Every structure is written in structure tokens, then in C-alpha cells.
């Protein structure tokens, strides 16, 4: 998905969710967000991840009962969930800063308070991809963010290399330990995914991919 296509989707979503806002204002906000997704220190958390997450939301939404408006809210949250990304920040801090940024930006775009709160809660959910926020919208959003775990082998391996590049400053042994802990926490829980479709279609691939990466990490740290 090109930057132009991404931007057009953002402007269209804002137009539906906040019809009073001027289109040029929404466009400028989208351009600024795209700039954030294109920051030079990012290798995985880029426009590619955003596009993949938007596609996953569209794939999961209909079978999970999301209406068109909820789907657009998930799209807006996807745009904002990694708006702030700092690999050297304490765990969860980038997500919390992204949530604060989302609250302020959506206020400036005249989103109503309930929608702002939903987007903020979805972003905070990505700190640990837990189940503390119930409902199909949260289910779809969380699974979309973790869809990469079940990607085809070549794309998953590329993703692993991209994440390693973002943490190039971390020595191999420390990276292997930390990354393995994160991955294990995601796939060793009873359910990797929350939506019925993802549990059925993606779980086996996600667990196989992660096992392969953990084996690589173990070998690299030895």
C-alpha cells in the first residue's frame, strides 16, 4: 500500500468519524503521522506495519461483528498506536505517549470524547496485548497488531530482522534473552489470538514461527 493510499484512507476515516473537521486539517495531520511512521530509526514499525495492520483489521472485522464505524475507529487507532516509537524508552512508555498524543490530536480533529477514549484504550492495550479491554473491537485490534506472528515464513523472518535492526544497540546475548521472553509470553499463553478466525487460522503458524525464531536467538546468543 502506497503512502498516498494510506493517506487517502486516513482522510476518509476522519471524514466519517468527525464530519465537521475540514478535510485539509485531516490531511495535514495524516502527513505528519506518515512522517512519524517513516522516522529513520524505525525498521519494523514503519508504514509497512501500518498497512499490514489495517489489512488485518479489514480481514478480521466482518467475522467478528464489527460495523463500519467501529472498523474505522480501529483504523484510526492503528494509525496512532505507534505514533511515538522509542526503542530506548522504558517498557510501555512509547505506547503511553502515543495514547496521549492520540487524545490531543483527535480532540483537535473534533472527535467526540467517547471515540477519543476508545482509541486511547486500544493503544494502551498494545502494551501487553492482554484481555483487560473486552469486546470485539479490542479483539480485532489486538489480533491485527499480532498478525505478523502468523505471516508466511519469509515475511516473518524479515520481520525478525527488522526488529533486530531497531535494537542494533543491544548486544546479541541481551537481545536474545529479552526478545525470547517477549515472544514466549505471546505464544505460550492459552490463546495467542482473541478472535475466532485468528485462533483457528493463525495460531499454529504463529507458534511455529516463534519457535523457529527462539531457536535462532538461542543459537546466536551461544
Model confidence pLDDT, tens digit, residues 177-221: 999 999 998 888 889 999 999 999 999 999 999 999 999 998 876
Residues 6+ apart with CB under 8 A from 197: 59, 60, 63, 64
Distance of CA 210 to the CA centre of its chain: 18
Sign of CA dihedral 196, 201, 204, 208: negative
Q: What is the pLDDT of residue 218?
A: 87
What confidence tier does 125 reach under pLDDT thresholds 50, 70, 90?
very high
199 and 191 in contact (C-beta within 8 Å)? Answer: yes
Q: In terms of C-beta density within 10 A (0-12 exposed, 13-18 middle, 19 or more buried), how is residue 110 classed?
A: middle
Ranking 127-136, 164-173, 185-194 by mean pLDDT, the lowest is: 127-136
Cα gap 37→46, rounded to integer Å: 5
Model confidence pLDDT, tens digit, residues 50-93: 999 999 999 999 999 999 999 999 999 999 999 999 999 998 99
Task: Check residue 65 and give left, alpha or beta (phi > 0: left; psi -120 to 50: alpha).
Answer: left
Q: Select from 110, 108, 106 the least CA-distant residue to 122.
A: 106
All structural domains of the chain with their residue ranges: 1-145, 150-222
Model confidence pLDDT, tens digit, residues 81-123: 999 999 999 989 999 999 999 999 999 999 999 999 999 999 9
Rounded to an integer, the average pLDDT of 12-40 is 96
54 and 64 in contact (C-beta within 8 Å)? Answer: no
Highest CATH level, class, for 1-145 = mainly alpha
N-term to C-term CA, the chain:
39
Residues 6+ apart with CB under 8 A from 4: none
Global confidence as pTM: 0.94
Whether residue 130 has pLDDT greater than 90: no
- pLDDT above 70 covers what percent of the chain? 99
Q: What is the pLDDT of residue 222?
A: 59
What confidence tier does 131 reach under pLDDT thresholds 50, 70, 90?
confident
Sign of CA dihedral 183, 131, 123, 145: positive
Q: What is the pLDDT of residue 129?
A: 86
What confidence tier does 154 reach under pLDDT thresholds 50, 70, 90?
very high
Amino acid at each position: 500500500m502506497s503512502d498516498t493510499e494510506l493517506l487517502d484512507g486516513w482522510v476518509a476515516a476522519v471524514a466519517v468519524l468527525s464530519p465537521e473537521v475540514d478535510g485539509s486539517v485531516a490531511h495535514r495531520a495524516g502527513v505528519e503521522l506518515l512522517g512519524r511512521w517513516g522516522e529513520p530509526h524505525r525498521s519494523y514499525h514503519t508504514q509497512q506495519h501500518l498497512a499490514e495492520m489495517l489489512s488485518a483489521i479489514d480481514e478480521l472485522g466482518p467475522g467478528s461483528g464489527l460495523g463500519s464505524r467501529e472498523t474505522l475507529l480501529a483504523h484510526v487507532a492503528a494509525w496512532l498506536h505507534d505514533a511515538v516509537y522509542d526503542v530506548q524508552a522504558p517498557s510501555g512508555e512509547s505506547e503511553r505517549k502515543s495514547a496521549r498524543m492520540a487524545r490531543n490530536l483527535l480532540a483537535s480533529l473534533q472527535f467526540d470524547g467517547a471515540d477519543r477514549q476508545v482509541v486511547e484504550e486500544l493503544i494502551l492495550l498494545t502494551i501487553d496485548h492482554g484481555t483487560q479491554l473486552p469486546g470485539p473491537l479490542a479483539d480485532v485490534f489486538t489480533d491485527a497488531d499480532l498478525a505478523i506472528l502468523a505471516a508466511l515464513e519469509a515475511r516473518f523472518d524479515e520481520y525478525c530482522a527488522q526488529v533486530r535492526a531497531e535494537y542494533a544497540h543491544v548486544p546479541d546475548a541481551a537481545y536474545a534473552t529479552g526478545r525470547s521472553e517477549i515472544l514466549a509470553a505471546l505464544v505460550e499463553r492459552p490463546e495467542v489470538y482473541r478472535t475466532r478466525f485468528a485462533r483457528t487460522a493463525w495460531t499454529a503458524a504463529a507458534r511455529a514461527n516463534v519457535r523457529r525464531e527462539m531457536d535462532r536467538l538461542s543459537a546466536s546468543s551461544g
